[in-house]
Structure 1
Amino acid sequence: MTEDATSLAKGFDLATLLAERGGERYELHAQYLNHQLPRMLHTIGFDKVYERAEGAYFWDAEGNDYLDMLAGFGVMGIGRHHPVVRKALHDVLDASLADLTRFDCQPLPGLLAEKLLQHSPHLDRVFFGNSGTEAVETALKFARYATGKKRILYCTHAFHGLTTGSLSVNGEAGFRDGFAPLLPDTAIEMGDLAALERELKRGDVAGFVVEPIQGKGVHETPPGFLRAAQELLHKHKALLIADEVQTGLGRTGDFYAYQHEEGVEPDLVCVAKALSGGYVPVGATLGKDWIFKKVYSSMDRVLVHSASFGSNAQAMAAGLAVLSVMEDEEVVANARATGEQLKTRLAELIPRYELLHDVRGRGLMIGIEFGRPSSLKLRSRWTMLQAARKGLFAQMVVVPLLQKHRILTQVSGDHLEVIKLIPPLTIGEKEVDRFVEAFTAVMEDAHGGGGLMWDFGKTLVKQAVANR
C-alpha cells in the first residue's frame, strides 16, 4: 500500500464504524432511506437483527440460526459467502487490473460471456449491465431496434423490473400507477395464443417478453405455449424474449427454465440475480448474432448502448466463480432433486389441511397456495381476512414461520394467498425436513384455531383497514 493510501485508511475503519453504529440500523433507514420499510418490518415482527450469514443460514446476536428460504429474492443461488466466490473477488482486487478504462478489451467479460453462452448454444453474444431490470431494458431496446417496431407484448401479472422500460411490461397495476406514460405495450393472458396472434397481426410488435415461470404466484407457462408463441412471433418477424432473471442459473432444475420445453430457442435471454454470487450486481442479456450486429451496425454506434459499470472486473470474476461452483457442485441437479423432494412432501399435506389448496413449481421455485376452507369455523375467519385484504392469510403463515421456527419466507405478490420458496440451490434433505416440519406445525395451529395466529390476523386486518 502506498503512503497516501495508508494515510487515508487511518481515517476509515469499517469494523469500528459498524461496532459503534450498527445498532442504529432501523433508525438510520427510517430517517434517510425508505421510511415505510422499517415500519412494515416492525408491524409484522420482521425487524430482526442478523449478525452474520453463511450458505442457507443467518445467525442473530444470541447465536440462533435462521433458515433462508428466500435467498435475497433469488440472488443467493449458491448460498451466502461461498468461499470460491469470495476468493475470486479477493484475487481480482489483489490483481489491481486496469479495469473500466473504456478503451481497451479486458479478458474477464469475454471469458464470462463464453461460459454463459455454452448453456445456450443457439445464442451468440452478451451485453453485461448491472441488474435484472437493466437486462430487460437492454432486451427491449435491442428488440425494437432490430425489428424496427415499437410495441412490446407481455403477460398479465408479469414482473420484469421497475425502471421505466421494464415497468412498461410489468403486469401489476400497483407498480405502474403514477409513473405513466410508459412504452407502447399490450398485456395478454399467459397461454392465450389467440390473443398473441391477434396482436401480432397488427404488424407493430417488436417482441414478446415472458417469464417461463412467473414469479408472482409461481405460475408456469402452459405446456407447448413457449414453442407455439415462438413460431407465431417469428412468422410475424417479432422476437421471443425470455426473462430468466429469477428462473435462470439452475433455479428450476435446468440451467434455464425455457429449456424444460423442447424446441424453444429465445432470441434474447435476460439473466442476473444468482450470477452475482450475492456480492457484485451483474445483469446479462444474451442474444443472437444478427440482433447485436444490427444494434452495433457501425463504429459510430459502438457506444449506442453501454453501461458505465457494465463488465467490471469484480462482477465478471463473481460470475465466473458462480458458474464454476455450479459445475463442480452439480448445483442444477441438486435443485432438481431437492426441489422435487420438497414439493412432493408439501403436496402430501394438501388432503390434511383444508386451507392448503395447491403446491406447484419446478426445482427450487415452489409456490404454496392457500384458499377458502370448507368448515364453517375456518370459513368465517377466512372471510374476515379476505374482506380486509386478500393475501393476509399467507402473511399469517409467513410470520410464525419466522417468529416460531426461524425460517424466512415471502408472500409471492401483493393480494396473493401464495408463499414462494426460492432458497439457495445448495440446500438438502436437512433443510427440507426443517421446513416441512415447521410448515406442518403452522398449518396445525391454523386449523386447530390457534389463538396467537388468528390474533395476529386481527392485527393485520386493522393495519390493512388503516392503510386504505
Structure 2
Amino acid sequence: MELINIDETLEMTRQELRTKHNNYLNPGFMKMLSLLGFDKKFVRAEGTKVWDDNGIEYLDFLGGYGSLNLGHNPEEVFNALDKIKGSPNILQAAPGTFNAALAENLAAITPGNLQHSFFCNSGAEAVEGAVKLARRATGKSKVISAKGSFHGKTMGSLSVSGRDKFKAGYFPLVPECTQIPYGDDEALREEIDENTAAVILEPVMGEGGVIVPPEGYLSTVSEICSQNNIVFILDEIQTGLGRTGKMLACEWEQITPDIICFAKSLGGGVFPIGAFITTPELWNKAYGRMEEALMHTSTFGGNALATGASIATINSILDNNLPERANEHGEYFINSLKQLDDKHDMIKEVRGQGLLIGIEFNSPEKSVLNKLSKGMLEKVSQEYTGAFVAEKLQNEYQVLTAFTLNNPNVIRLEPPLIVDKEQIDYVVDSLDKLLDHHGDFFKLAFSSGKKAVSSFFKRD
C-alpha cells in the first residue's frame, strides 16, 4: 500500500489532479468543470487574489459563496490560531474556553435578547439544529419556507429548501415542510395553521438568484410570527457578518428573529463552523432541563480552533469597519453594473444588497433559432447562461464567479469585503467587453466550446 504524502500532493500536476477527481471523488462534477474550462489547478491565494500553476493571477469575485469576507488566508485569523496552538481542541468532559467567548460575542452582535448559541460544522447543520429547536420548543411540526430558497442539502435542510431539482430521488423528506412565494406575506398568512412551528427565510435569497425582498417584508413576517406564536428563523449564513452592508442583514429592518443561523464567513474562510443563536425562552423550553441538555450535540462543534478563528474573524470585521465598506462599495458596484444593464440587451436585471450581487440574463425565447430548436435554446439558456458568462470571465478576463444554484441564469458577484474600487472597476469593464464581443446567448454559448454546448443539449 502506497500513500501520498503532503510533499507529493503539492507537486501534483493538473492532469494528475483531474485523474484523481475522476477516480476517487465526483467524476460528473469533474466533467462539468472540464467542459467549462474550470479545471485549473490553483496553488496560491491571498486576499482577493488566487494564482494558478502557470503563475496567472485571478480576482476572486466568488468568495467561497460568501465564506471569504476577510479574503483568502487572513493573517489575523492565523495569528489567533498560533496563540491557541497547544490548547485542548476537543475536550468534551469540560466547559470550553473559546466557544464560551465566541458565544458571548455572538450575543453582543445580535439584536434583542438572543443569547444561547449552539456550534456545529456547517450551515446545513445550523439549519437542522434551528428547525429541531423550533419543533421541540413549540411541540408543533409544520415548517414554512420560501420557493427558490436554499438552506442546505442534508435531509432536514433540504426539506425546507425551495428547488425540486435537488430533492428528486430523496423522497420522502422530512414531512410537513411547505414552501410559499418569497416576498408574499399574504401567502404566508394563508399557509399558517395551528400546527405551524416555524418560518425560515433568508434576508436576501442567495441561491434563488440574489432576490432582495420588498421593503418591510421581513418586519411583516416577524409580526405575523409573533402574533401566531410561531418561531421565526432567519438564515444569515450567507448574508451575515457584514456581507449586505450591515453586520447582520436583519438590521436593515431592525427586527429580532427568534433564531439566527450562521456559517460560511464565521470561520474566517479558514475553519468550517456553523452556529445558531436563540432566546433563553426557546432554549429553556427545548433543552433547559439537565436531562435534555444532550438532546442535540456535535462532536466537533465548538472546538477550540474553529471558535478561536471565529473570535478573530468577528473582531477583524468590526475593527476594519467591513460592513460599512461593503455598503459603500456595494452601492458603487451595483450602480456601475446598472450602467451595463442600460447598454446590453442580454442583461435582464442587476440586483443585490451590499456585496451580495446578482446579474440575471435574458433568454432568447423570441429568436428564430429558438423556434427552430422547438424551445430547446431557451431551455438551455435558462440553465447555462450563467455558466457560460462565468467561463468567459474566468478564462478570458481572470475573474472567478459562478451561477446561483436555484437560478442558474444568474451569476453572483460576492467578493471578499476587503475588495477595492479598482478591482470592482476591472470586473465591470471585463463584463462590458465580454458582452460587447458575445452580445447574445447563441454567440456566447458556442464561443464557450462546441463540446460543452453539445453536451448540454444532449443532457436536456
Alignment equivalent of 1:255, drawn from 247, 264, 269: 247
| Distance of 2:452 and 2:33 partners within structure 1 | 12
Counterpart residue number, 1:330? 321
Q: Does 1:362 align with 2:366?
A: no
Q: Is the 8 A contact 2:210 2:358 kept in 1?
A: yes
Return the match for 1:465 from 449, 457, 460: 457
What CA deviation, in whole Å up to 9, does each residue of 1:76-109 have, x standing for no partner? 111000111111122212xx22332212112211
Aligned to 1:111: 101
Does structure 1 residue 318 correspond to structure 2 residue 303?
no
> Is residue 2:249 matched to residue 1:267?
no
Is 1:130 aligned to residue 121 of structure 2?
yes
Paired residues of 1:154 and 1:208 also in contact (CA < 8 A): yes
2:217 to 225, 235, 260: 225
2:133 corresponding residue in structure 1: 142
Is 1:456 the counterpart of 2:448 in the alignment?
A: yes
2:58 match: secondary structure = strand
Q: Counterparts of 2:14 and 2:101 in 1: how far apart (Å)? A: 39
Q: Is the 2:88–2:304 Cα contact (8 Å) retained in structure 1?
A: no
Q: Which amino acid aligns with 1:272?
A: A
- Check whether the contact 1:89–1:317 (CA below 8 A) recurs between aligned residues: yes
Q: 1:191 to 1:374 in 2, by over 3 A?
A: closer
Pick from 43, 58, 76 the counterpart of residue 35 of structure 2. 43
Is 2:39 the partner of 1:62? no
> How far apart are 1:13 and its partner, in Å?
5.5
SS in 2 for 1:219: coil
Paired residue for 2:148?
Answer: 157
SS in 2 for 1:416: strand
Q: Is structure 2 residue 89 aligned with structure 1 residue 99? A: yes
State the Cα RMSD in Å: 2.3
User: After superposition, what is the alpha-carbon deviation per residue over 1:262-291, rounded to whole angstroms, capped at 9, x for unaligned?
Assistant: 3x1100000000011111110010111111
Decide whether aligned partners of structure 1 residues 378 and 87 sit closer, same or farther in structure 2, where only a CA change above 3 A counts.
farther
Secondary structure, counterpart of 2:431 in structure 1: helix
Task: Check conservation: 2:387, 2:408, Cα contact below 8 A.
Answer: no
Secondary structure in 2 matching 1:214: coil
Report how many residues are paired: 454
Deviation per residue, 1:217-249 (Å, 9 max, x gap): 110122111111111112111111000000111
Secondary structure, counterpart of 2:239 in structure 1: coil
Query: 1:142·1:292 contact (CA, 8 Å) conserved in 2?
Result: yes
Q: Which amino acid aligns with 2:231?
A: L
- Alignment match of 2:415 (pick from 415, 423, 429): 423
Distance of 1:458 and 1:12 partners within structure 2:
37
- Are the structure 2 counterparts of residues 375 and 193 from structure 1 closer, same or farther at C-alpha, using a change threshold of 3 Å? closer
Matched with 2:340 is 349
Matched, 1:280 2:256: no
Q: CA deviation at 1:396?
A: 2.1
Q: Which amino acid aligns with 1:341?
A: Y
Q: Deviation of residue 416 (structure 1)?
A: 3.3
In structure 1, give the amino acid aligned to 2:106.
L
| Paired position in structure 1 for 2:403 | 411
* 1:25 aligned partner: 17
User: Aligned partners of 2:341 and 2:449: how far apart in 1?
Assistant: 22
Q: Tell me: CA distance 1:194–1:415, structure 2 relative to 1, closer, same or farther (3 Å).
A: closer
Residue pair 2:329, 2:355 contacting (<8 A) in 1 also = yes
Matching of residues 185-224 of structure 1 within 5 Å? 185-200=177-192, 202-215=193-206, 216-224=208-216
2:428 and 2:347 mapped to 1: Cα distance?
A: 13
2:110 aligned to 115, 120, 126, which one?
120
Counterpart-to-counterpart distance in 2, 1:413 and 1:175: 10
Distance 1:270 1:19 in 2: 39
Q: 5+ residue gaps in structure 2?
A: none
Identify if the C-alpha distance between structure 1 residues 380 and 441 changes in structure 2 by more than 3 Å, giving closer, same or farther. Answer: farther
CA distance in 2, matches of 1:269, 1:449: 40
Kept in 2, the 8 Å contact 1:55–1:81? The answer is yes
Q: Check whether the contact 1:124–1:288 (CA below 8 A) recurs between aligned residues.
A: yes
> What amino acid does structure 2 have at the position aligned with 1:47?
D
**Structure 1 unaligned runs (5+)?**
1-10
Is the CA contact (8 Å cut-off) linking 1:391 and 1:414 kept in structure 2?
A: no
Once the two structures are TM-superposed, the CA of residue 447 in structure 1 deviates from its matched residue by 2.2
User: Does 1:400 find its partner at 2:395?
Assistant: no
Instruction: Summarize the Cα distance change of 1:274–1:378 in structure 2 as closer, same or farther, 3 Å threshold.
Output: farther
Maintained 8 Å contact 1:59/1:66: yes
Which amino acid in 2 is paired with 1:362?
Answer: Q
Q: Which amino acid aligns with 2:397?
A: H
Code of the residue aligned with 1:290 in structure 2: it is: E
Deviation, 1:15, is 2.7
Query: How far apart are 1:394 and its partner, in Å?
Result: 2.3
Q: CA deviation at 1:372?
A: 4.2
Partners of 2:59 and 2:10 lie apart in 1 by 24
Amino acid at match of 1:356: I
Q: Note if 1:244 corresponds to 2:231.
A: no
Distance 1:302 1:375, change over 3 A: closer
**Structure 2 letter corresponding to 1:150:** S
Q: Go from structure 1 to structure 2 and tell me whether the alpha carbon gap of 1:137 and 1:414 turns closer, same or farther (over 3 Å shift).
A: closer
SS at match of 1:444: helix
Render the CA deviation track for 1:312-336: whole Å, top value 9, x for unaligned. Answer: 0000111011011112211111111
Amino acid at match of 2:47: G
- For residues 183 and 440 of structure 2, the distance between their equivalents in structure 1, rounded to whole angstroms, comes to 39
